[in-house]
Structure 1
Amino acid sequence: MSGTAANPGNGQYADVNGIKLYYETHGAGRPLVLLHGGLGSGEMFGPVLPALAERHRVILVDLQGHGRTADIDRPIDVRLMADDIAALIGHLGLDRPDVVGYSLGGGVALQVAIRHPERVRRLVPISAAIARRAMYPDILAQQEQMGAAAAAFLEDTPMYALYQRVAPRPEDFPRLLDKIGAAMAADFDLTEQVRGLRMPTLVVAADADMAPPSHFVEVFGLLDGGRRDGGWGGEGRPKGGHALALLPGLTHYDICVSPLLATVVLDFLAKD
């Protein structure tokens, strides 16, 4: 799932919220903060980044301990990373950017919207379950095996190769696995927080994701979706402008590089 960012040479660091956060800026237009998945970096979006950057000023961030952002002495926690992103938005002087996140980044995007709603214009969480119990049992079992001991088994993966190539301290990989494992083991349920979201939100998932399609339909239901016929003029759609996209023929592992993802995200963000 690794790609090459359009112009990694434009990367910068921002000292925000106690962390030195790496980010790149691509394109021009309405700002879009783009957040990658676990054990990846902004480079994961390489195949779809050019399409997004044609219409938006894309701020491509490497989250704590990932890519070119060094780890710091705190857990991997989507709430803390959301505070990093909110601080970066303020640091860059962005006026309510759209926030789009995939997998771990989707969890961070949700928390930015929950904790800092005034910072977000439109929200797109991709392949981000809102409750741990929603994921398939075999996925939960795999997550329970995540930790430093798994480092040797990951050495032939693109994720390990990316980390070794760009991380400020490549030797931190086992430590990152321990932190990711601890984060995955923690129970969570954002049902009530998602029900309270007020910014227009596009819930996106693959039709063969880590959680069943029914879970993402339930998330849409929390946003008043799927409760009535939409009507000829769309008058029956959710009042908050929320939407749902279940993308066909994709999985959790390739949705972030699909042209179909770029198409649905751009269409949603183009709305007033």
Structure 2
Amino acid sequence: MKNCLLMFSLILCYLLASAQTPVPYGSNPAAGHYQLVRGVKLYYETYGQGPPLLLLHGNGGSIKKLENNIPFLAQHYRVIAVDSRAHGKSVDPGDSLSFEMMADDFAGLLTSLRIDSAYVLGWSDGGINALVLAMRHPEKVKRLVATGANLWPDSTALMPSLWRQQQRGYQENKSVKFTDPKRRNDWKVFCLDVFQPNIPLSALQGVRAPALIVAGDRDIIVPEHTIAIYRHLPHAWLWIIPNSGHATVREHADEFNRKADEFFQAKTVLPPVH
């Protein structure tokens, strides 16, 4: 009996010791770094080896929001997951914020890491950032995946219910003088999506990088808007995910990861069908 108990204890100790502790994505000292870029200390984490892949989260989020994607992608790429300016650990005390500023940040970060070009994957605002980065710094983007992105902030791009909610939120708080730094930053981030981006469809013609444009069939982005983005890109794939909302990268993480990898590895990307 004593031998059995001893054996059980040894097995239990082994199982406990071998159990993997969840990786604290977004707050991982083993993988985290700061880089001063354009006046802001950008926080980023790196995982895996291989071709560089820049990973971009959405509005009000951080690296942690992409915790379902990093482990798979890190098996194939050198993942560089970034907290955007004014998000997560990338503190930005300034009053202004734009997608152009963030795209320039990402280009500067890649340059500082001595990366000539990278694959880029962005969700929501991160998808917008991926497109803007490809427009402003085409040499930095090999291929891009953008899910849940929009080009302008009205009810023809966003679902009308979301657009009305944003407008109410703005009207109710526009006269408030925020003194708390966090609330002031949250307001700045909120206003980013109320007033931006403002990208004409014609501007997409200048994107030379192949693109995979993604949305859920129940996304907060109007389906026709997503299709228009796809059709105006010179080299693009379109993927509308069935039974999915805006959180494609989380709701369908396994399928999303495989599809993104398939796109990055594809030999050719044909022009869209008009």
Q: TM-score range by the shorter chain?
A: 0.7 to 0.9
Q: Is the 8 A contact 1:132 1:189 kept in 2?
A: no
Please name the residue that 1:248 is paired with: 242
Cα distance, 1:7–1:20 mapped onto 2, change above 3 Å: closer
The secondary structure found in structure 1 opposite 2:260 is helix
Contact persistence 1:147–1:177 (CA under 8 A): no
How big is each residue's C-alpha offset from its partner over 1:19-74, in whole Å with a ceiling of 9 and x where there is no partner?
A: 10000001111100000011110110111210111100000000111111112314
Structure 1 residue ranges (4+ consecutive) displaced by more than 2 angstroms after TM superposition: 144-150
Deviation at 1:7, TM superposition (A): 7.7
Q: Which of these residues, 183, 187, 197, is aligned with residue 207 of structure 2?
A: 197
2:153 is equivalent to residue 132 of structure 1: yes
CA distance in 1, matches of 2:143, 2:263: 9
Percent identical: 33
- Give the deviation of 1:146 after TM superposition: 4.1
Task: Compute the displacement of 1:95 (Å).
Answer: 2.5
Q: Which has the higher contact order (CA 8 A, sep 6+)?
A: 1
- Structure 1 residue 6 displacement after superposition: 8.4
Q: Note if 1:80 corresponds to 2:101.
A: yes
Deviation at 1:177, TM superposition (A): 2.3
Match of 1:26 among 14, 33, 47: 47
Structure 1 residue runs without a partner (length 5+): 151-170, 225-239
2:77 aligned partner: 56
Give the alignment partner of residue 182 of structure 2, picking from 173, 187, 205: 173
Partner of 1:157: none
TM-score w.r.t. the length of structure 2 is 0.79
Q: Tell me, in whole angstroms, the C-alpha distance in 1 between the residues paired with 2:249 and 2:126.
A: 11
Query: Given the alignment of the two structures, is residue 222 of structure 1 paired with residue 268 of structure 2, yes or no?
Result: no
CA RMSD between the two structures: 2.1
Q: Is the 8 A contact 2:26 2:45 kept in 1?
A: no
Count of paired positions: 233
- 2:17 corresponds in structure 1 to none
AA partner of residue 159 (structure 2): Y
Secondary structure of the corresponding residue to residue 59 of structure 2:
coil
How far apart, CA to CA, are the structure 2 residues paired with 1:132 and 1:195? 20
Who is 1:207 aligned against?
217
